[in-house]
Amino acid sequence: MLTFSDQEYKWCPECNGNIRKDAYYCKFCHKPIGSKLLKTKQADGVAQLITKAARWLPDFNSVLRAIPTPLRDRIDEADRNTPAPYIGLPPGVDPEECRNAERNCDLCAPHPPSSAEFGIIVDILIGLHANGQPIAALCADRRLQLIELTTGEVVAEFELRVAEIQGGQKCRHCAEFRAVDEPVCRYCGGTEDSPPNPIDYRIQLLAEFEHYDPTLLRNVLLWEAAKRRIENEPPVEEETLQAHNIGEADIDRQILTLRQNPNRLPRSRWRERMFQLGIEPGYYESTAFPIMGYTCDFDYFQLTDIDSLGRAMTPDFSCKAHDNAGAALFVFDHLLSRWQNNPHFSRNKHSILSGKSMVYLHLKDDENHKRFEKEAKEAQLESVPEEFRAAMEFALDTTDDSMDFKALLEMDPELRLQSIERLGEQSAKKQSQLAERMDTLIPGLTDAFAGMLELTSVSMQITKLLLQGQIALKKADSVTACRQFESALALGDNSIQDVSRRCNVLLELANAQFVG
C-alpha cells in the first residue's frame, strides 16, 4: 500500500505531478488529462520536477535508495527518458553529474514548491514512512520546516490515506480515495456534480516573475505610510490604506520598527519565515549562468519579490486576475525610490522601469511609455558585464523590431496579417543571429534556440492560416475559409496551452461551415 507503483500511478502529461492512473482530472493542475484531447500525451518533464522537489530533501540520493522500489523505478525511468540539461555548462562537464549534484546540494530553492513538486515531496516522505524508514531527522531540516512538513504531518497524512483507501470511495475526477462523508474532494476540490475549478496555467508558468501576494502588497503600503510620516512626505491615500485594512495602530507599530531598524525594507511572509529560520536561498550555480558574474542571495530575492508583485498587477493583453495599474505604479515607484542601496538594484532596475513602461502603455500614455521603455533599455545594457553588452544590445534591437503592440491590437485581419508577416520574417532572422552570438558565451544556446524557433514557426503558421481564413470569410469565400481553418487545426498539438487557440479555430470553422 502506498508504494506509488506504475500499476496505480502515472505522471500527469501537463504538470508532471504524481497522480492516480485512472484519473480524469489532474489533482494538481486540474487539467482534464483523461479527455480525448490530452489522454494520448506523454509527460516529458518529470525529471525536472524531481530535481526541483529534491532541493527540499536533504541527501536526496540516500532518500532515493530508501523509498519503495516501485516509486524509485518510476523516477529512474523518468531520468532515462529525459537527458540532463546542458545549456550553460562548460565543455567537458557531464550534465548527468550536474543534475545529480543539484539534487543533493544544501542550497534552499528561493520560491515555494509548486503543487506538483510539493505533492511528490509528500509522496516520497509517505513512501519512506510506509517502508518503515525513520523520517524525523529529515523533517528536522530547515527546508522542510519552511514548507511546514513535520514528522507529525507526514504520519497523519499517511494514516488518513490508509483510512481513505480502506473506505473504498474514489473521487470521480482525480480518482484519489476520499472520505465517504466529505462532499468535496480534498485532493482536487471536485464534487459529485462539479469537476475541479480550472487553474490558469500562466500563474504557474510565471510564478517566479509575476506573483500576486496580497500580504506583501499590504506590507509595502504599510511601510510607505510609516516612512512618509517619518520623513514628512505626502501621505498614502486614506482610501488605499482602508482598502488594505491598515489603521493608525498598524502605522504606529511600523514607525517604531523603522526607528529601531531604519534599513529594514518590506518582506513577504515567505521571505520573513526564511529569514527567521536562517535560510539563505539561491539558485544552483549550474542553472544560474555563473559566467554572467551574477549572485542570487536573500537581498536579491527580497527585491525581486516586490518586482514580481508589481508585474502581477501590471495590466497587459492577457486580462490577469489582479490588474491594477495604480497599485502597480505605486509598487514600482517604491522600488525606484527606496531600494537604491540594495546590492542588486542596478541589476534589476531595467525590469522595474520596463514594468512602469507597460503600465503607461495600458494607460495610453505614449510619452511616459516610450520614456520608461528607453530608460529600461539603457539600464539593462548597463547591468550586464562588458563582454555580454554587444550581444545584449543586439538582442534588445531584435526585440524592438518584433514587439509591435499596435499590430497585436489590430482588429482587421488583412492589416494584422501584413504586420505579422513583416515582423515574423525579420524576427526569425535576427533571433537566429542572436543565438549564434550568445552560443560563444553560453554553450548549447544555439540548439535550444533551434527548438524554440521551430515552435515559433509553427505558431506563426497557425496564426497566418487563421487570419487567411478570416480574410476569405470576409470576402464571402467560405470554401477557402474552411480549408484554411482545417489546415490550422492540423498543425496544432494537444498541449493545454494550445487548447484556447484550437477552440477559436474550431469556432471559426463552424461559423464558416454555417455561412457556407
User: What's at 176, amino acid-wise?
Assistant: E
Which H or E element spans position 133?
Answer: none
Task: Give backbone dihedrals phi and psi of 177, rounded to 5 degrees, phi first.
Answer: -70, 140
Query: Residue 32: CA atoms inside 13 Å, Cβ hemisphere, count?
Result: 9
Task: Give the span between the Cα atoms of 383 and 156, in whole angstroms.
Answer: 49
Task: Give the span between the Cα atoms of 372 and 353, in whole angstroms.
Answer: 6
**DSSP SS3 for 108:** strand
Pairing state between β 9-11 and 18-20: antiparallel
pLDDT tens for each residue of 23-79: 999 999 999 999 876 777 788 899 999 999 999 999 999 999 999 999 999 999 999
pLDDT tens for each residue of 67-110: 999 999 999 999 999 888 766 666 778 889 889 999 999 889 99
pLDDT of 35 reads: 84
Give me the torsion for CA of 498, 499, 504, 505, rounded to 10°.
70
C-alpha cell at 492: 496544432
Q: DSSP secondary-structure letter at 442?
A: S
Using left for φ > 0, alpha for ψ between -120 and 50, and beta otherwise, residue 444 falls in left
Query: Looking at the DSSP assignment, which residues form a beta bridge with residue 9?
Result: 20
Query: Looking at the DSSP assignment, which residues form a beta bridge with residue 20?
Result: 9
Could you tell me the sign of the dihedral formed by the alpha carbons of 412, 397, 207, 368, in that order? Answer: negative
Task: Give the span between the Cα atoms of 124 and 69, in whole angstroms.
Answer: 11
pLDDT of 68 reads: 95
User: What's at 427, amino acid-wise?
Assistant: S
Residue 383: Cβ within 10 Å count: 20
Q: Are 385 and 292 in contact (CB under 8 A)?
A: yes
10-residue mean pLDDT series, the chain (516 residues): 93 95 95 81 90 95 96 96 76 86 91 95 97 95 96 97 94 94 94 89 68 95 97 96 96 96 94 94 63 72 95 75 91 96 92 95 94 92 74 63 49 77 62 59 57 67 87 88 87 60 77 74
Q: Encode burial over 335-362: b for 16+ CB neighbours within 10 A, e otherwise.
A: beebbeebebbebbbbbbbbbbbbbbbe
Chain centroid, CA 11 distance in Å:
19
pLDDT tens for each residue of 129-165: 999 999 999 999 999 999 999 999 999 999 999 999 9
Q: Are 67 and 131 in contact (CB under 8 A)?
A: yes
Task: Give the span between the Cα atoms of 282 and 296, in whole angstroms.
Answer: 5
Give me the torsion for CA of 93, 94, 100, 102, rounded to 10°.
30
Q: Are 360 and 404 in contact (CB under 8 A)?
A: no
Count the helices and strands in the chain (H runs, E runs). 23, 2
Task: Give the span between the Cα atoms of 29 and 229, in whole angstroms.
Answer: 45
Task: Give the span between the Cα atoms of 58 and 135, in whole angstroms.
Answer: 11
Q: Is the pTM of this model over 0.85?
A: no
